[in-house]
Amino acid sequence: MAVSSTSVETLISSTAFSPFPTGQNMEYTQKELVERFESFFEKEEYASQIADIVAGIEGKRSVIVQYNDLANFDPAIAEALITDPEYIIGSAESALKEYIERNFEPLDRKSHVRIAGLSELSSIRNLRSEDVGKFIAIEALVKKATEVRPKLMEAAFKCMHPSCGKISFYEQEGPKLTEPIYCKACEKTRSETKFKLIPAKSKFIDEERLEVQEMPEKLKGGQQPQRLVAIGEDDITGQVAPGDRVIITGILKALPRSYGNIRLTTFDFRLEISYIEKQNKEYGEIKPSEEEIAEIEKVAKGPNPIDAVTASIAPTISGMDEEKRALALQLFGGVPKEMPDGTRIRGDIHILLVGDPGTAKSQLLRYMSALSPRGQYASGKSASAAGLTAAAVKDDTGDGRWTLEAGALVLADGGIACIDEMDKMSKEDRSSMHEAMEQQTITIVKAGISATMKSRCAVLGAANPKFGRFSGDSESLIEEIDLPAPLISRFDIIFTIKDRPESKRDEEIADHILKGHKIGEELRKGVEPTMDMVSHQPLLSPEFLKKYVSYAKETNPVLTDGAIKKIKKYYLNTRKKGGEAQISITARHLEALVRMAEASAKIRLSEHVTEDDAQIAIDIMEGYLSKVLSYDVDLAYTKESRKKRTARQIITHIVEELIKEEGSADFSTIIQRAEAEGLTKMEAEDILEKMKREGTIYEEFHGRYKTV
């Protein structure tokens, strides 16, 4: 029976539009083309892949064909693949099926031919109408991935007519379900009978929709990254996650836009994925070769492996050895632990850099984000709470439901999130980081979605002092950091970078910067630099360092008794140093010591955390406590020392007692009683003045105070 015009119209509207004919301008007939591909599959590499498909190893269902191999085998077929991919790939899959049936048993599942390694990459921004129907490759960043859902390929419909009841199968094309026009068994039409879909008898295939966008580093100033929807099926689904950098090869299609039930003349691009190749991988997925492992072990067993790693971090920045040493430990990280009660203790090390303008903080952050396989960089006002955590957006590529779009802290899962200009962020945006830094999860409850996303990343933050530059007049430098105490407390280490005139140091910086500019100018001209480049080159290349970190992260060092005793002794002695007047170190700092000691052991590829590793962590912590906190943790958490808070409590108590006795507190009486409690007149006057500014007390008459 002929198909009606209505069903033809439905089919046209629901499928992708491709203006290219199939099989035209080919020097081979369909049969010859299949035979050529069968010969191609005889090559050892592809015969081995086909054997794996037949054996069902790891669920393999595709032969991955490298484009260069196909071009070397038959340039005409490779050229035709670009302009007429559906015809060529369809012929290749027919050849694959015949090859398997001739050499093995027929399979009850479909096998695919996927093309990889296309040398010429297209830009999403430059895709045009003439590219529709062509085979292309794009380099992109995965922004969103839908759930893997079953897609109906062959629908089983049961005829509901009393005299029939037979099940017939109908192939499905496009996103809309096409019901049968007539029953294949009794030939009754839709006007004479009804049809019931039987899912259990139907055939499905997995489908996943990705939303990818242009690489951020390839955008020019002011450009917004353009996006493209890519659709993958069967065995290539579920392979990537938001934040992955990928090269996707596939067929570019055009789908008609619609406004309600009205089809428009404008179309949207869609990419039917043939193959996905992940560019950036997590540390655990970066596998060094045997030669590289030997080189890594040589560095790790050397006299000072931590110095080698430190010398490889931003060598164009002069000095900052202590900061770079801590960043080296942050790269390797400690050991995350799952406790028997289900509690998780993070292994990632969080570091905050607070410094005067022009001290290369941003450059350090950029370098670290590039070193990390899943590094993310965000800056100041440009980073919102949704941008850092996750945003709820309408899924335009699926059924219109609200979906979550991962933010920087989620995209950096397994890497380092570098957040610059933290002092410029709003209070609400900064507060979104609290859970991500300690629990290393992000809980989202919005738009009817309740979800918890992983953010197992180290945070490297940078900020300027409260007044633009360090004044040096405060009792502690921490008072000049304009960040909330709960956020500051989550950083393991805080470095203050001050720009102060110092003749010898200034000369070293000037020589280093000017030498770097001269080398850069000569390299730009393509001539051999006249100056020695050793000081401006990393000791270990970034590629080698990534593999070093990846290899070292497989090590899970355990604390030795000597390391435990050393860390415990330092912790107790530092607590005593504060005495009753102040708290000099907390249990949170104790955990930070353990994390840094474990990272030091990882750099050495050691299974044990030794006393030397503990000493490295103690040296960094000692510098932090002495320079930044002045051994008074209360300065970080309350911006007021324990001594000052005790004096304030004395004055507050005196004022309250005098108000009870006399109705108001006399200034001279307050000073007299304060001196009796051991305070000086100046201390008492300073506290009274501060309480007046805060509005805690007010002066009812001259020299007489009341509480608000």
Residue pair 18/253 in contact (Cβ under 8 Å)? The answer is yes
Architecture of domain 283-552 in this structure? 3-Layer(aba) Sandwich (3.40)
Tell me the pLDDT band of 573, cut-offs 50, 70 and 90. Answer: confident
* Amino acid at the residue 364: L
Residue pair 705/664 in contact (Cβ under 8 Å)? The answer is yes
pLDDT score for 427: 77
pLDDT over threshold 50, residue 18: no
pLDDT score for 282: 58
**Percentage of the chain modeled with pLDDT above 90:** 13
pLDDT over threshold 80, residue 475: no
Greater confidence (559 vs 511) lies with 559
- The tens digit of pLDDT for each residue in 576-630 reads 775 544 556 778 888 999 999 999 999 999 999 999 999 999 998 888 877 766 5
Q: 73-87, 287-301, 410-424 — which is least confidently predicted?
A: 410-424
List the Cα angle 285/290/296 in 5-degree steps.
Answer: 80
Burial of residue 48 (number of CB atoms within 10 Å: 0-12, 13-18, 19+): exposed
Ranges of each domain in the chain: 1-15+132-279, 20-119, 283-552, 642-707
Q: Is the pTM of this model over 0.85?
A: no
- The tens digit of pLDDT for each residue in 507-524 reads 777 877 787 777 777 777
What SS3 class is residue 313?
coil
pLDDT over threshold 80, residue 572: yes
Tell me the pLDDT band of 664, cut-offs 50, 70 and 90. Answer: confident
What separation in angstroms does the CA of 159 have from each of 169, 317, 329, 473?
Answer: 11, 76, 68, 88
Helix 561-578 with 611-624: angle, nearest 10 deg? 20
pLDDT score for 281: 58
- The tens digit of pLDDT for each residue in 366-377 reads 888 888 777 788
pLDDT score for 7: 37
Mean pLDDT over residues 137-150, rounded?
85
Mean pLDDT over residues 121-140, rounded?
90
In whole angstroms, give the CA distance from residue 430 to residue 425.
6
pLDDT score for 356: 82
Q: Which of 109-123, 391-405, 518-532 has the highest mean pLDDT?
A: 109-123
pLDDT score for 144: 81
pLDDT score for 10: 37
What separation in angstroms does the CA of 676 have from each of 24, 250, 370, 449, 688?
Answer: 104, 84, 60, 61, 16
pLDDT score for 644: 55
Mean pLDDT over residues 660-680, rounded?
83
How many residues comprise the chain? 708
In whole angstroms, give the CA distance from residue 68 to residue 250.
16
| Residues facing residue 665 across a β-bridge | 705
Closest CA to 294 of 566, 493, 544: 544
pLDDT score for 1: 35
Indicate the CATH number of 20-119 among 3.40.50.1010, 3.30.465.10, 3.40.190.80, 3.30.1640.10.
3.30.1640.10
What SS3 class is residue 178?
coil
Measured distance between the N- and C-terminal CA atoms of the chain, rounded to whole angstroms: 92
What is the CATH T-level fold of the domain 642-707, as seen in this structure? Arc Repressor Mutant, subunit A (1.10.10)
Mean pLDDT over residues 323-344, rounded?
87
- The tens digit of pLDDT for each residue in 414-460 reads 788 888 888 888 777 777 788 888 888 888 777 677 777 788 888 99
Q: To the nearest whole number, what is the mean pLDDT of the chain?
A: 80
Residue pair 114/275 in contact (Cβ under 8 Å)? The answer is yes
pLDDT score for 471: 67
pLDDT score for 217: 63
Max distance between CA atoms of the chain, in angstroms, equals 110
1-15+132-279 and 20-119: identical CATH topology? no
Q: Does the 1-15+132-279 domain belong in CATH 2.40.50.140?
A: yes
- The tens digit of pLDDT for each residue in 547-558 reads 888 888 888 899
Q: How many helices (H) and strands (E) does the chain have?
A: 24, 26
- The tens digit of pLDDT for each residue in 184-231 reads 888 888 888 899 999 998 888 888 888 888 877 676 656 778 889 999
pLDDT score for 157: 92
Closest CA to 149 of 399, 390, 449, 406: 399
pLDDT score for 19: 36
